[in-house]
Structure 1
Amino acid sequence: MYIKPFKVEEWINAHEQTAKYNISSTGVVNLTLDGLLELTGTDREAFLGELCSRRLSYGHIGGSPGLLQGVCGLYRTLKPADVVPTHGAAGANHHVFYTLIEPGDRVVSIVPTYQQLYSIPEGYGADVKWLKLRKEDGFQPDLDELERLAAPGTKMICIINPNNPCGSVISNEALRRVVGIARAAGAWLLCDESYRHLTQNGEWIDSVADLYEKGISTSSTSKVFSMPGLRMGWIACRDRDFVASCLSHRDYNLVSCGNLDDTIAALALKHAGTLIERGQRVIRDNLQVVEGWVQSEPHISWVKPQGGSITLLYYDFDMNSYDFCQKLFDRTGVFVSPGDCFEMPGCFRLGYAGNTAEYLKAGLDGISQFMKTLE
């Protein structure tokens, strides 16, 4: 099966390990295991003693009770039988398409988004239609246009909330209209909710899995919970036939998630509130740094993000985003991702929560120095 190269992942793979200032990272400052144990008030000796004495078996094939209950705590209506553990949210998104999409199916995806949400169904032979988000609209979806694209018989609508790479948030009111459009078309509604608990105003963002019987939520411990190295994610949906189909397909390409990963994720999710509060503090403090920098830079414009830990920054130089980001990297060691990785020219994606405010300031200073050479 041919699939288009994953632009942003290829860019990251080529630059991440040698960057001086990585301000492209899309999560909240990554935790150490010691940090997690300290945050959760867990006895280190007892926890590691149990972990180190455990046999490295498959563990709970469908996820441990603690993991499943922890995931359910992030939603309002879900039960453990509604959850399918996966290898990260990337594995969750892929598994949804693998389970549901066939050649000729109509799929409507917002763009920009994480490329999986349109390139994987396209690779499976789906008829993929784009709903383009525009800067002048605050990167909010045109729901009248969505209604036009999601004709009766549409197989799936794909959204991401909060948005990667824009940082925009679809309001709960607008999300209910999206659900209505999906229901009228008879479509599944897939929402990548990897950043759902990271908002600037602290308001609860509804999950499509709570709002709609054919709503599919995907997420992970990578972004909000600062543990991308666990590779622990999940699919959540109240349609038990779909869940059964996911589990059947899962036997062929996953079998189970890691035994140790499951245990660490279950501990984190048991204390989800504490980790979410930590994430909220980081994104709010660091966004203030970015906002002050944007206001001081005449060459930069943006739509201030409402959620998540990333944003798009637009520059006014006559230079494509790949050249801008590569020259920036070569001259300063500052690493950001080209907007063209997301079908958005003339800008770059900034990850503002992956390190300390001081580190972020140093990276932004590097961008300022680079832009002075372009004047």
Structure 2
Amino acid sequence: MKITPFAVEQWMNEYETRCEHNLAETCVESLTVEHLLRLTGARDSLMEHLAPLTLTYGAIEGSDRLRAAVAALYEHQDIANVLITHGAIGANHLVHHTLVEPGDRVVSVLPAYQQHYSIPESIGADVRIVRLREDTGWLPDLDDLAAQITDGTKLVVLTNPNNPTGSLMDRDALQKVVDLCDAAGAWLLCDEVYRGIDQADPGTTASVADLYPRAISTGSMSKAFSAAGLRLGWVVASPELISELTIHRDYTTISVGMIDDLLAALALEHADAVLDRSRAIVRGNHAILSDWVEGQPGIDWVAPRGGTTALLRYDLPLSSRDLCVDLLRETGVMLTPGSALEVEGYLRIGYANNPEVLSRGLRLLGECLARRRA
């Protein structure tokens, strides 16, 4: 099976370990184990749970404790609706390979995570792209979606909050997409890895899993929960689909690591504390980035409403890749070129890292841009 190279991951693989100031990172500043234990009040008790573990395979679908903690992130879900996976990347891969067959129509927005159109394309699906536009706030145009979601469409795919734009569909907007899917008999997959760190209170928007019987939510510990090193994600869907996913999962995963399962359960049982920290970071850094954008000639954006990333439109006669490579070589600052996301003329910035790193990186970025305008 041939598949299109994953452009963003190839960019990250090439440069992430060679930069000094990483403004391409999409996770909220990662927790240390020490910080996680302080946030959860488990510093003194963790060894009581950890020391007795036998390092064998864990529970196949994920421990009941972890699945209950995941289910609690939603309005109307239970353990039977949750399947634990190897990161959200594993969750998304599993859904596509379970549902999509050659010739099926799959409707996906772009820009978005490349999995959601390249995997179904590799399977032989009829992939229809709905392009997000800056003039609509990077939100899907419902007329464009409706034109592609025809009777018999197998799967519609969203990312909410969106990576790379930071756009956010609220409950009403999601319900309108649900209505389109329902009329066509389509499944709706929403990659919700950035859910829980909205810029406005209450901080967490609705999940499609709570709005539609044929909806599928994928999530992970990586972005909003600041624990990418656990490599742990999940699928939330109907018990019937979870059973189908499990059949495919048996060929790739067996179980996630028992220690990962334990630490993820601990973090999610204290989701409020972890997300309070994450929201403080993304909201404080959003203000830093907003001030910088306002003071930069030739830089425009749609301010993100959720997630950890934004697209910066620039006015220089350089490709986004050339500009990003020059920036790295001159300053050690790493961004992601829009070309890796099929939106040339833009730079993706991740703004959820350490505030000092963000401020220093923005200063160097501004100086680099100024030199090219001189």
Same fold (TM over 0.5): yes
Shift of 1:270: 0.3
Shift of 1:54: 1.9
Query: Which runs of at least 4 in structure 1 moved beyond 6 Å after TM superposition?
Result: none
- Answer yes or no: is 1:207 the counterpart of 2:186: no
Q: Which residue of 2 aligns with 1:360?
A: 358
Q: What number of residue pairs does the alignment pair up?
A: 372
Shift of 1:360: 0.5
Task: Tell me, in whole angstroms, the C-alpha distance in 2 between the residues paired with 1:62 and 1:103.
Answer: 28
- The TM-score, its normalising length taken from structure 2, stands at 0.98
Task: Tell me, in whole angstroms, the C-alpha distance in 1 between the residues paired with 2:234 and 2:17.
Answer: 28
Shift of 1:180: 0.3
Q: Which residue of 1 aligns with 2:92?
A: 93
SS at match of 1:151: coil
SS at match of 1:216: strand
SS at match of 2:138: coil
AA aligned opposite 1:283? V
Q: Which residue of 2 aligns with 1:172?
A: 171
1:19-38 aligned within 5 A = 19-38=19-38
Task: Tell me, in whole angstroms, the C-alpha distance in 2 between the residues paired with 1:161 and 1:243.
Answer: 21
Task: Tell me, in whole angstroms, the C-alpha distance in 2 between the residues paired with 1:66 and 1:50.
Answer: 12
1:54-203 aligned within 5 A = 54-203=53-202
Structure 1, residues 218-238: CA drift from partner, whole Å, max 9, x if none?
000101110001010000002
1:199-278 aligned within 5 A = 199-203=198-202, 204-238=204-238, 240-278=239-277
AA aligned opposite 1:5? P
SS at match of 2:128: strand
Shift of 1:121: 0.5
SS at match of 2:153: coil
Structure 1, residues 195-248: CA drift from partner, whole Å, max 9, x if none?
11110102341111110000000000101110001010000002x221111011
SS at match of 2:251: helix
Task: Tell me, in whole angstroms, the C-alpha distance in 1 between the residues paired with 2:304 and 2:46.
Answer: 38
Shift of 1:7: 0.4
Shift of 1:43: 3.1
AA aligned opposite 1:31? L
Q: Which residue of 1 aligns with 2:42?
A: 42
Task: Tell me, in whole angstroms, the C-alpha distance in 2 between the residues paired with 1:281 and 1:339.
Answer: 27
Q: Which residue of 1 aligns with 2:278?
A: 279
Structure 1, residues 290-339: CA drift from partner, whole Å, max 9, x if none?
00000110021100000001100111001111111011111110000001
Task: Tell me, in whole angstroms, the C-alpha distance in 1 between the residues paired with 2:19 and 2:2.
Answer: 31
Bigger mean CA deviation after superposition, 263-272 or 244-253: 244-253
CA contact (8 A) 2:71 2:79 kept: yes
Q: Which residue of 2 aligns with 1:369?
A: 367
- The TM-score, its normalising length taken from structure 1, stands at 0.98
CA contact (8 A) 2:29 2:352 kept: yes
AA aligned opposite 1:126? A
Structure 1, residues 71-90: CA drift from partner, whole Å, max 9, x if none?
01110000101111000000
Shift of 1:258: 0.8
CA contact (8 A) 2:34 2:43 kept: no
Unaligned segments of structure 1, at least 5 residues: none
Structure 1, residues 2-61: CA drift from partner, whole Å, max 9, x if none?
0100000000011111111001110111001111000111133x3135424421011211
AA aligned opposite 1:142? D
Q: Which residue of 2 aligns with 1:342?
A: 341
Q: Which residue of 1 aligns with 2:320?
A: 321
Task: Tell me, in whole angstroms, the C-alpha distance in 2 between the residues paired with 1:260 and 1:57.
Answer: 11
Task: Tell me, in whole angstroms, the C-alpha distance in 2 between the residues paired with 1:50 and 1:343.
Answer: 46
What is the RMSD of the two structures over their aligned residues, measured on CA atoms?
0.9
SS at match of 1:234: strand
Task: Tell me, in whole angstroms, the C-alpha distance in 2 between the residues paired with 1:358 and 1:100.
Answer: 44
Task: Tell me, in whole angstroms, the C-alpha distance in 2 between the residues paired with 1:184 and 1:50.
Answer: 48
Task: Tell me, in whole angstroms, the C-alpha distance in 2 between the residues paired with 1:52 and 1:72.
Answer: 27
Task: Tell me, in whole angstroms, the C-alpha distance in 2 between the residues paired with 1:243 and 1:59.
Answer: 18
SS at match of 2:166: coil
Shift of 1:359: 1.3
AA aligned opposite 1:217? S
Shift of 1:130: 0.4
AA aligned opposite 1:365? R
Task: Tell me, in whole angstroms, the C-alpha distance in 2 between the residues paired with 1:5 and 1:365.
Answer: 33
Task: Tell me, in whole angstroms, the C-alpha distance in 2 between the residues paired with 1:60 and 1:298.
Answer: 55
AA aligned opposite 2:372? L
